[in-house]
Amino acid sequence: MKILAINSSYRGSKGFTKFLIDKLFQGAREKGADCEAINLSEFRINHCIDCQACRRPEHFLKCVFHDKDDVAMVYNKMKEADIIIFATPVYTFAMSSLLKMLLERYYGSAKVEEFRLTKSGLFFHHVDDDICKKSFVPLVVCDNLEDETPKNTLSYFKIYSKFMDAEIVGTLVRKSAGMFGFNQAEKNSSPVISRVYDSYIQAGKELASLGRISRSTEKKANEPMIKLPFFVKTMLKLGIGREKVIAAHNRIMQSVVNRV
């Protein structure tokens, strides 16, 4: 089993997204998986300029940037993988532009004049099966605790799955990332954090041995850092206790920032 993680955080190997990838790989390697992570921030990725050169006979299915950046190298690694982890922070309610640029370059690898019907009954053009149809795991990371924050990115991957006939074999969403203080020198004593990290290791084991993350492990890995009682949201919308909640949250975040 070969697992490739594509880390699209601009912080590269220094960010929390990569830290969570390493937790997954810790478990996957225990089960004998061959794991590799690519930090897109370390490579050159030109965005598609819609020049249509890849449609012309003399340059068919070969991007004008083929020999000028690292996208072809990344695609070759995707072809070799059994499972791909698309790891991205949420930037302004969407995936990292690094990942979006990489995915947009799919255009140069497809015979877009050939239309097909996907397994889910959608009309779409030909895609390079060796790149686009790989089973994958979205790993979405954000500092905010709101469920709305990662929704746009998660929706994208659900649509991607349908059009590419690529199976989602697990979905990992880590909200409130800033509260984890992952690069603190001292050991974190929070039971939630310990459970989340253990669940990521277990998720890696399952990917390596079963080819997917179980629902129970996924639920544990996505455990919220803060669980607000159902009535609190209503109170906050009405303005009741809003200032106190904001002040408390700011104190927590500032204490984390000061130790990073």
Residue 259 is predicted with a pLDDT of: 33
The secondary structure of residue 168, as a DSSP letter, is B
Q: Are 44 and 69 in contact (CB under 8 A)?
A: yes
Distance, CA of 217 to chain centre: 17
The tokens 């940037």 sit on which residue? 65
- Is there a contact between 88 and 82 (Cβ–Cβ < 8 Å)? no
Contacts of residue 211, defined as CB under 8 A and 6 or more positions apart, other chains included, come to: 1, 82, 83, 135, 169
Q: What is the pLDDT of residue 164?
A: 97
- The pLDDT of residue 257 is 47
pTM higher than 0.85:
yes
Other CB atoms within 10 Å distance of the CB of residue 70? 16
Could you tell me the mean pLDDT of each successive run of 10 residues in the chain, 260 residues long?
97 95 98 98 96 92 94 98 98 97 96 93 96 98 92 98 98 92 61 94 98 98 79 60 62 47
Q: Can you give the pLDDT at residue 186?
A: 46
Domain 2-227, CATH 3.30.2310.20 — does that match?
no
Question: Quick one: pLDDT at residue 258?
Answer: 37
Contacts of 162 (CB under 8 A, 6+ apart): 118, 120, 122
What are the domain boundaries of the chain? 2-227, 228-260
